[in-house]
A and B are shown apart, each in its own frame.
Chain A
Amino acid sequence: MTSLIGWRDQCFQILFVVAAAPLLAGWLQTVRALLQNRRSAGILQPYRDLFRLFHKETLIPEQSSWLFQFAPYVMFGAKIMAVAIVPIIANGLPLASAADVIALVGLLAVARIFQVLADMDTGTAFGSYGAHREMLISALAEPALLAALFTASLLARSTSLVQIVHLSQIQLFSIHPSMVFAAIAFGFVLLVENARIPVDNPATHLELTMIHEAMVLEYSGRHLALLEWAAQLKLFLYMTIGFALFLPWGIAAKPSLTSLVIAAGLVLVKLFFAVVVLALVETLLAKKRLFRVPEFAITGFLFGVIGLLSHFMLGS
Chain B
Amino acid sequence: MNSGDCLLWVLYASLLALLPTVLVAIPALPIRWKRSLGFLLTVAFCLLLIVVGIHALASPALHASIPGPLTDLAWQFTLDPLSGFFLLVLGSVGFAASLHAIGYFHHGSQSKLKQVLLPYPVFVTAMVWVLLAANAYTFLVAWELMALSSTFLILVEGQDQRRQQAAYLYLLIAHLGALALFVAFALLSHGDLISNGNFQRMAQLSDSPIVANAVFGLTLLGFGAKLGLLPLHAWLPEAHPAAPSPVSALMSGAMLPIAVYGLLRIDWQILPAGAVWWGPLWLGLGLCSALFAVLYSALQTDMKRLLAYSSMENMGLILIALGLSRIFAEQNLWPLAALALIAGLFQVLNHAFFKSLLFLGSGSVLHATGTLEMSHLGGLIRSMPQTAFLVLIGIFALAGLPPLNGFASEWLLLQAFLLAPSLPSGMLRAILPLAAAGVVLVTAVAAFAIVKFYGIAFLGRARSAVAKQEAGIWERASMAFLALFCVLLGVFPGRVVDSLSHITALLLHGSQIAHQSALALTPISAQRASYLPGVFLLGIALSIAVVFVLVWWRFGRSLRRAPVWSCGFAADYSAQTQDSPTGFSQPLLRIFGVSLSTLRNRQGGRNTLPVQIPDPFWKGFYLPWGRVTLWIAGGISRLQHGRITSYLLYSFLTLIVLLVFFR
Contact = CB atoms under 8 A, between A and B. Distances in A.
Interface of A: 54-55, 57-65, 67, 69, 73-74, 76-78, 80-81, 84, 95, 97-100, 102-103, 106-107, 109-110, 113, 116-117, 120-129, 131-133, 135-136, 138-140, 142-143, 146-147, 150, 153-154, 157-160, 163, 207, 217-218, 222, 226, 290-291, 294, 301, 304-305, 308-309, 312
A109 B399 contact: yes
Interface string B439-460: 0110111011001101110011
A301 B437 contact: yes
B81 to A, nearest CB: 28
A110 B451 CA distance: 12
Nearest to A61: B564
Contact of A54 (B401, B447, B555, B566): B555
Contacts of A107: 402, 536, 540
A76 to B, nearest CB: 5
B460 A120 contact: yes
A60 B562 contact: yes
A54 B567 CA distance: 22
Given A62-B564, A106-B401, A135-B448, A128 B418 contact: no
B554 interface: yes
Contacts of B588: 136
Given A123-B379, A294-B591, A132 B579 contact: yes
Contact of B455 (A109, A120, A143, A226): A120
A150 B527 CA distance: 16
A110 B540 contact: yes
A122 B461 CA distance: 8
A57 to B, nearest CB: 7
A309 B429 CA distance: 9
Interface stretch (B214-222, B248-256, B365-373, B544-552): B544-552
A103 B591 contact: no
A107 B535 CA distance: 13
B560 interface: yes
B459 A150 contact: no
Contact of B578 (A123, A147, A163, A207): A123
Contact of A305 (B414, B434, B561, B583): B434
Given A131-B455, A305-B434, A59 B399 contact: no
A207 B567 contact: yes
A58 B560 contact: yes
Contacts of A59: 559-562
A62 B526 CA distance: 49
26 contacts: A62-B562, A63-B564, A64-B564, A73-B544, A76-B543, A81-B543, A99-B532, A103-B407, A110-B401, A121-B460, A124-B578, A125-B578, A127-B460, A128-B578, A129-B579, A132-B583, A133-B587, A135-B452, A139-B448, A146-B437, A150-B418, A150-B433, A157-B528, A158-B529, A217-B565, A309-B430
A113 B451 contact: yes
B527 A61 contact: no
Given A60-B559, A77-B547, A301-B437, 13 more contacts: A57-B560, A61-B562, A64-B564, A65-B382, A67-B459, A78-B543, A110-B401, A120-B459, A124-B577, A131-B451, A143-B438, A154-B421, A160-B528
B564 A84 contact: no
Interface in B364-388: 378-379, 381-382, 385
Given A106-B401, A110-B402, A312-B430, A143 B460 contact: no
Contacts of A150: 418, 433, 436-437
Contacts of A76: 543-544, 547
Contacts of A117: 451, 454-455, 459
B379 A98 contact: no
B426 interface: yes
B411 A103 contact: yes
A316 B608 CA distance: 60
B627 interface: no
A32 to B, nearest CB: 25
A102 B412 CA distance: 10
Nearest to B567: A207
Contacts of A120: 451, 455-456, 459-460
A109 B433 contact: no
Contact of B590 (A81, A291, A305): A291
Nearest to A63: B461
Contacts of B543: 76-78, 80-81, 84
Contacts of A140: 444
Given A78-B540, A95-B539, A139-B445, A123 B563 contact: no
Interface in B388-403: 396, 399-402
Given A143-B437, A146-B437, A312 B429 contact: yes
Nearest to A154: B421
A103 B535 CA distance: 12
- State the 5 A-B residue pairs at the shortest beta-carbon distance, nearest first: A128-B579, A77-B544, A120-B455, A77-B543, A123-B460
A74 B532 CA distance: 19
A314 to B, nearest CB: 12
A160 B418 CA distance: 12
B530 A97 contact: yes
Contact of B526 (A97, A121, A122, A217): A97
A290 B587 contact: yes
B30 to A, nearest CB: 41
Nearest to B411: A102
Central interface residue in A76, A99, A147, by most chain B CB within 10 Å:
A99
Contacts of A290: 587
Contacts of A133: 587
A133 B586 CA distance: 10
Given A106-B402, A132-B585, A100 B441 contact: no
Contacts of A308: 430, 433-434
A109 B437 contact: no
B577 A125 contact: yes
A109 B578 CA distance: 24
Interface in B591-626: 591
Given A63-B564, A312-B426, A58 B559 contact: yes
A293 B366 CA distance: 38
A113 B578 contact: no
Contacts of B484: none
Contacts of B421: 154, 312
Contacts of A121: 381, 459-460
Contacts of B567: 126, 207, 217
B564 to A, nearest CB: 4
B641 interface: no
B557 interface: yes
B105 interface: no
Contact of A73 (B548, B554, B575): B548
A100 B529 contact: yes
A132 B587 contact: yes
Contacts of B528: 157-160, 163
Nearest to B541: A77
A67 B385 CA distance: 11
Contacts of B443: 142
Given A63-B461, A80-B547, A163 B561 contact: no
B559 A124 contact: no
